[in-house]
Amino acid sequence: MASETAPGGVDVTIPNVARIYDCFLDGKDNYAADRAAADKIIAVAPATRATALANRHFLARVVRFLAVEAGIDQFLDIGCGLPTQQNVHEVARAVRPDARVAYVDKDTVVLAHARALLATQPRTMVIEGDLDDPESILLAPELAEILDLDRPVAVLMLSVLHCMPDDDRVRGAVRRLRDALVPGSHLAISHITRPDPASGYRQAAEEGARTYRDLGADTGMTFRDRDVVAGLFDGMELLSPGLVNLSDWRPDPALGPVSGQGLPATYLCGVARKDVR
């Protein structure tokens, strides 16, 4: 069971979305309120835990692809969440020992845990920044210490954009970060969406999102349809297989079983490249 000792100033009686996600991944950095919230969400949306694992495995496949096939050695993970297995630096450095990684989050609990975990990791930085304010990321002095934005960077926005309710602000944030990247850079996104009514899971997914709000979690979940998520890649080349369910993005049996197969499509994910003009 997770320790109930919290960093100073952190209210562990209020469920926290990053810690709830940590519960879904069987992590250890969560508290009683988070575990109770996770149980209530799973009660109404039973596929939630399997979907969270599928999203984590998508991260691993994407980072490996970017490091090996795309030749990327710089990663910017925005909304990184609590440290758990298969972190970006671990996956990247398994194939590119020289990889440099900047983790970004605004959550004080996330930042405390990440900095403790990564204190001895070379070429790795944890930055406080808010996706709702892209300049807080791009102008952070620490970013320039770890990443060279004059060279290609892979930007990861996995399970974070749906925490922002305003479509225009989401589009603006993604556009600003995309514009800051040089050609050859890549963008990876995963985002919740409403399942097809025929799947029989739409009501469960909507009840799960409603439960986040009713529990008083620090952020909600905003469903976006395919065309809205696809539009976030405007100005870039969406790579094969396009915008797909988590388990359908380049499954690789060599990396082990692919989580999420057979699940209703509650997530969309894709990877795009900023072309050389």
Name the residue with tokens 């109404």: 44
pLDDT at 94: 94
* Residues 38 and 201: beta-carbon distance below 8 Å: no
pLDDT band at 2 (very low <50, low <70, confident <90, very high): very low
* CA gap 114, 124 in Å, rounded: 11
pLDDT of residue 255: 66
Query: Tell me: domain 53-196+221-273, CATH 3.40.309.10, correct?
Result: no
Q: Considering only residues 8 and 253, tell me which one the structure prediction assigns the higher pLDDT.
A: 253
Kindly tell me if the per-residue pLDDT of 242 is higher than 60: yes
pLDDT class for 169, splitting at 50, 70, 90?
Answer: very high
Give me the residue spans of the domains in the chain: 53-196+221-273
274 φ/ψ angles, rounded to the nearest 5 degrees = -85, 115
Percent of the chain topping pLDDT 90: 58
* pLDDT tens sequence across 80-90: 988 777 899 99
Structure-model confidence comparison of residues 203 and 234, the more confident one: 234
CA terminus-to-terminus distance, the chain: 53
- In tens, the pLDDT along 130-167 reads 999 999 999 999 999 999 999 999 999 999 999 999 99
* 265 in Cβ contact with 199 (< 8 Å): yes
Q: If we measure between CA atoms, which residue out of 4, 51, 19, 5 comes closest to residue 208?
A: 51
